[in-house]
Amino acid sequence: MGQVITFGEVLMRISPWGNKKFIQSNVAEFFFGGTELNVGISIARFGGQVKHISAVSNDFIGETAISYINKFGVDTSSIVRSKRPLGVYFLEVGAVMRPSTISYNRSHSSFSEIQPNMVNWQEALNNGAWLHWTGITPALSKHAFHILKEGLILAKEKGMTVSADPTYRNGLWNYGIDAKDALVELLELSTVFIGGINEINEVLGTNYGYSNDDFIEASKALMEAFPSIEKVFDKIRTSLNSSWHKIRARMYNGKEFKETIDLDITHIVDRIGTGDAFAAGLIYGLQRFDDCKAMKFASAACALKHTYEGDVNLATVNEVTAILNGNTSGRLHR
């Protein structure tokens, strides 16, 4: 049950209290996050061994980011410091039909401007059993992309499991590389695909629909195109509005298709990082359970994340397992 390695940007999140806009306030809360870090911290909360690799600023903000990660017991020994500032994102939290809105200040951040010699993969992957990446990292800069690819190559050599969450994020990919080409290169080095129809259509250039049959066909096509990929896991979100979602999951592992029931999240506290909570639940689960139970664990973890403030799922294994077992009535624990 070796170490899970995550590699990606650490962002500082700054948002006014409650549903206020910045124009209404002079006080803000701050958290730290970043899609891959969120996965790492969540797995550490479950009790897994995790190391996060990143580049943060060489000032008191970077120090605070590292201390935030330390707090959750994630190994920060491979995080480097640089002269560039830490990436920041500002969030205004919506409600009902008002969407939450994010504004980024990350394009010249310490991570976007990471340099090739900053990551020593040999050392970093020393105890690594699993490497997780997302589509955000290669979208940030050429160096970020190449460093990631370098890590995946080594991970493959070492026989590590590689999970890919190839989310395509509009607004990034501004440094002159074709998103699809880059994602294809990285998927060829990956073994677990965390994504749905949109992501598959994106990398295959196909046009599958959203039905379960389409999902199975799309997964098969993906596995054919990327023979290293063994399993596909998809999380499906139904949004009544900003405050009320339903979550379910489905999977195809080459042998069988499975899906979960809907979990009804009637009063969302914070939906940032819920996809990362799914990925974390999945990784933790696949290291310990069969595929179907891992998917259910991931789905329960994702649903639970909607009830925590901040970017990170703070639930424990017991808490996720209770939801997985259908215990969703929220009875007070004394």
Please report, as residue ranges, which positions from 107 to 166 form the binding site for a copy of itself (by CB under 8 A).
107-108
Q: Residue 14 CA to chain centroid, in angstroms?
A: 19
Report helix, strand or coil for 216: helix
- Of the pair 128, 273, the CB lying nearest a copy of itself is at 273
Number of residues that bind a copy of itself (CB under 8 A): 82
Contact 90, 22 (CB under 8 A): yes
Residue among 141, 271, 278, 283 that touches a copy of itself (CB under 8 A): 271
Angle value at C-alpha 140, between 137 and 143, nearest 5 degrees: 85
| 70 forms part of the interface with a copy of itself (CB under 8 A) | yes
Return the range that interacts with a copy of itself (CB under 8 A); candidates 3-11, 103-111, 149-157, 183-191: 103-111
For 60, 99, 112, 160, 301, the CA distances from 106, given in Å and listed in that order, are 17, 22, 7, 30, 28
- Of the pair 83, 255, the CB lying nearest a copy of itself is at 83
Contact 300, 320 (CB under 8 A): yes
Tell which positions 164-223 bind a copy of itself, by CB under 8 A.
169-171
Tell which positions 288-317 bind a copy of itself, by CB under 8 A.
303-304, 306-310, 314-315
Give, as one character, the DSSP assignment of residue 22. Answer: G
CB of 3 to a copy of itself, least distance (A): 16
| 325 forms part of the interface with a copy of itself (CB under 8 A) | no
For 60, 185, 230, 262, the CA distances from 283, given in Å and listed in that order, are 32, 22, 14, 21
Retrieve residue 80's tokens. Answer: 């480097």
Residue among 1, 47, 99, 116 that touches a copy of itself (CB under 8 A): 99
* Separation between Cα atoms, residue 34 and residue 57, nearest integer Å: 15
Q: Which residue has the tokens 């899970």?
A: 4
Return the range that interacts with a copy of itself (CB under 8 A); candidates 146-154, 179-187, 199-207, 324-332: 324-332
Per-residue burial over 114-134, b if 16 or more Cβ lie within 10 Å, else e, is: beeebbebeebbeebbbbbbb
Return the range that interacts with a copy of itself (CB under 8 A); candidates 125-133, 221-229, 285-293, 325-333: 325-333
| 25 forms part of the interface with a copy of itself (CB under 8 A) | yes
* Separation between Cα atoms, residue 76 and residue 52, nearest integer Å: 6
Residue among 1, 266, 290, 325 that touches a copy of itself (CB under 8 A): 266
Residue among 1, 102, 153, 261 that touches a copy of itself (CB under 8 A): 102
| 236 forms part of the interface with a copy of itself (CB under 8 A) | no
Residue among 27, 178, 227, 255 that touches a copy of itself (CB under 8 A): 27
CB of 104 to a copy of itself, least distance (A): 7
According to DSSP, the β-strands at 3-7 and 50-53 are parallel
CB of 164 to a copy of itself, least distance (A): 20
| 242 forms part of the interface with a copy of itself (CB under 8 A) | yes
